[in-house]
Amino acid sequence: MITVKNLHKSFEDNNHVLRGVNYHISPGEKIVIVGPSGSGKSTFLRCLNLLERPTEGEIWFDGQCITDERVDINHVRQHMGMVFQHFNLFHNLTIMDNIILAPTKLKLQTVEEAKENALKLLTRVGLQEKADAYPASLSGGQKQRIAIVRSLAMNPRVMLFDEPTSALDPEMVGEVLQVMKELADSGMTMVVVTHEMGFAREVGTKVLFMDGGNIVEENTPAEFFGNPQAPRLKEFLSKVL
Amino acid sequence: MDGLKLWLAEVGRKAYVAFIEQDRWKLYLKGLGITMEVAFFAAIIGIIIGTVLAFMKLSVKRNGKPSFLARIANAYIDIIRGTPSVLQLLIMWFIILSFCRNKILVACLSFGINSGAYVAEIVRAGILAVDKGQTEAGRSLGLSQFQTMRYIVIPQAFKNVLPPLGNEFIVLLKETAILGYVALDDLTRVANQITSRTYEAFMPLIGAALIYFVIIKILTILLNKMERRLRKSDNR
């Protein structure tokens, strides 16, 4: 579903963040990416929907090379949901308008359809009574659940999560992970950058360890945590587990 | 007691000379009309020019360097901010638009062009102050750059922009006091003329100052009200 070939990304200050990443993600997989900060895991994720433009390499999504300049990236992004560390709900809109903005403005659904769909999704995460509230009145956990719903309203084929629980109070991490678990169980293809090792172990089909701008180790959760190979990974796990 | 009576009579006479005699209050009113007219239309021109300049300034080439449009906008802002507005007014009236005999029009244009440079910086700062995450969220949903601007960034930027924009309008309103340089009878010039005609400075000058003050006070109250209404979504 997503194939990454020789992905490089360097920023203006000659900071070479990604150094030739290759990877393939099949439909239905739940890829969990862990690693120390500065390892390039967030940049890698943000390259997948071209929020960061790679300096070199190719990304293929559903048989289309999306790094090609001629590809309409807005159209590609309609099929790739993204959830951010800081939620990024639109402050100027109510929860309902946050959710239906993209589907209606992109003329994928009528306002009525979008609202009906939004209510269904809100009910699924237990927040239907917040439809007319503004984001400022919600807790972090509620905001993140809404952000997930907002992405799902576009019926994406893959969901990208960029440290979705890192900005949350510890008490609220559980409710967000629960929503993500249910999403995983429904068969959604997911790529998750996180520090939640429990989530990686339980939900991931593959766990990746990134360090120094590349994937250092990739394995099933059982092998990854039970029998790590790379010394850097062993060191990392000994600190976080 | 007699001293006080005499003093009061004197004040009354001066006020009579400054405001009532020969229907002079009509002159102040007319002057205020010109001041407000120029300030109002100049503000509209300024907001239009300023908004266009702000977007020009924000446009970047793919490699992140300022675009050609951004360079033009920067040059405009440099020139306008680098010269006194009195001179700009004189240059417009005596040189650039010397063929145009409509003083009000020239004044509105001159002040509008001047204000545009300052509004450009206000609008640009207001847009840049919107969290980058808002744009990223919009783009990640598949909205175009334009749609993201239109539905997400600009409504939020508007809230940031309103207070400094109100401030800019107040500055503009007072700056029109230099209209006398091109012989337009704005409030300040009227007060000055009455001073030289009646040989009494106190009443006309303080009177004109009070009028400015009251107008601006009213504006301030209106702006605060508007701002509060716009902040609604922040704490509901």
Q: pLDDT digit string (tens) for A135-149?
A: 999 999 999 999 999
Tokens of A156: 């994406």
Q: Is residue B1 part of a domain?
A: no
Terminal CA-to-CA distance of chain A, rounded, Å? Answer: 32
- Chain B residues in contact with A81 (beta carbon < 8 A): 140-141
Q: Which one-letter amino acid corresponds to residue B196?
A: S
Which of A51, A92, A106 has the CB atom closest to B140's CB atom?
A51
- Chain A residues in contact with B235 (beta carbon < 8 A): 136-137
**CATH number of the domain residue B43 falls in:** 1.10.3720.10
Q: Is the CB of A106 less than 8 angstroms away from the CB of B137?
A: no
Burial pattern B123-160, b for ≥16 Cβ within 10 A else e, equals bbebbeebeeebbbbbbbbbbbeebbbebbbbbbbbbb
- Which residue of chain B comes nearest to A130, CA vs CA? B236
User: A18 by DSSP, 3-state: which?
Assistant: strand
Q: Is residue B235 part of a domain?
A: no
- Distance, in Å, from the CA atom of A114 to the CA atom of A120, rounded to the nearest integer, reads 10
Q: What is the pLDDT of residue A146?
A: 97
Q: Closest Cα of chain A to B147: distance in Å?
A: 8
Q: Is residue B2 part of a domain?
A: no
State percent of chain B over pLDDT 90: 79
Q: Is residue B9 part of a domain?
A: no
Q: Is residue B67 packed enough to be buried (19+ CB in 10 Å), middle (13-18) or exposed (0-12)?
A: middle
| Number of domains chain B is built from | 1
Q: What is the pLDDT of residue A180?
A: 96
Query: Taking residues A202-217, what's their average pLDDT?
Result: 94
Q: Closest Cα of chain B to A6: distance in Å?
A: 22
Tokens of A55: 């300096």
- Chain A residues in contact with B131 (beta carbon < 8 A): 88
Q: Is residue A214 packed enough to be buried (19+ CB in 10 Å), middle (13-18) or exposed (0-12)?
A: middle
- Tens digit of pLDDT for each residue in A173-199? 999 999 999 999 999 999 999 999 999
Query: Taking residues B100-117, what's their average pLDDT?
Result: 95
Query: Taking residues A210-228, what's their average pLDDT?
Result: 94
- Tens digit of pLDDT for each residue in B191-236? 999 999 989 899 999 999 999 999 999 999 999 998 888 877 665 4
Model confidence at A133, pLDDT cuts 50, 70, 90, reads very high
Is the CB of A51 inside 8 Å of chain B's CB atoms? yes
- Distance, in Å, from the CA atom of A218 to the CA atom of A26, rounded to the nearest integer, reads 14
Sign of the CA dihedral with A97 first, then A101, A105, and A108 last: negative
Which of B142, B234, B236 has the CB atom closest to A78's CB atom?
B142
User: ipTM more than 0.90?
Assistant: yes
Q: Which residues form the domain of B48?
A: 14-230
- Chain A residues in contact with B127 (beta carbon < 8 A): none
Asked whether residue B62 carries a pLDDT value surpassing 80, the answer given is: no
Q: What is the pLDDT of residue A7?
A: 95
pTM of this prediction? 0.85
Q: Closest Cα of chain B to A102: distance in Å?
A: 6
Q: What is the pLDDT of residue B38?
A: 96
Q: Is residue B3 part of a domain?
A: no
- Chain B residues in contact with A80 (beta carbon < 8 A): 140
Q: What is the pLDDT of residue A34?
A: 95
Which of A75, A90, A133 has the CB atom closest to B142's CB atom?
A75
- Distance, in Å, from the CA atom of B162 to the CA atom of B1, rounded to the nearest integer, reads 53
Q: What is the pLDDT of residue B234?
A: 67
Residue B187 CA: distances (Å) to CA of A125, B33, B180: 63, 8, 9
Sign of the CA dihedral with B19 first, then B23, B24, and B29 last: positive
- Chain B residues in contact with A88 (beta carbon < 8 A): 131, 133-134, 136-137
Residue numbers of B between 152 and 181 with CB closer than 8 Å to A: 152, 155-156, 159
Asked whether residue A210 carries a pLDDT value surpassing 90, the answer given is: yes
Q: Is residue B7 part of a domain?
A: no
Is the CB of A137 inside 8 Å of chain B's CB atoms? yes
User: A71 by DSSP, 3-state: which?
Assistant: coil
Quickly count: other Cβ atoms within 10 Å of residue A233's Cβ: 20
Compute the count of residue pairs across chains A and B with CB atoms less than 8 Å apart: 81
Q: Closest Cα of chain A to B181: distance in Å?
A: 45
Asked whether residue A75 carries a pLDDT value surpassing 90, the answer given is: yes
- Tens digit of pLDDT for each residue in B3-56? 899 999 988 888 888 888 888 899 999 999 999 999 999 999 999 999 999 999
Give residue for tokens 């990223």: B136
Give residue for tokens 């009145």: A137
Is the CB of B147 inside 8 Å of chain A's CB atoms? yes
- Chain A residues in contact with B233 (beta carbon < 8 A): 91-93, 134, 136
- Distance, in Å, from the CA atom of A111 to the CA atom of A118, rounded to the nearest integer, reads 10
User: B220 by DSSP, 3-state: which?
Assistant: helix
Q: Is the CB of B134 less than 8 angstroms away from the CB of A90?
A: yes
Model confidence at A86, pLDDT cuts 50, 70, 90, reads very high
- Tens digit of pLDDT for each residue in B138-187? 999 999 999 999 999 999 999 899 999 999 999 999 999 999 999 899 99
Model confidence at A47, pLDDT cuts 50, 70, 90, reads very high
Query: Taking residues A211-229, what's their average pLDDT?
Result: 94
Asked if residue B191 lies in contact with residue B31, where contact means CB atoms within 8 angstroms, the answer is: yes
Average pLDDT of chain A to the nearest whole number: 94
Is the CB of B100 inside 8 Å of chain A's CB atoms? no
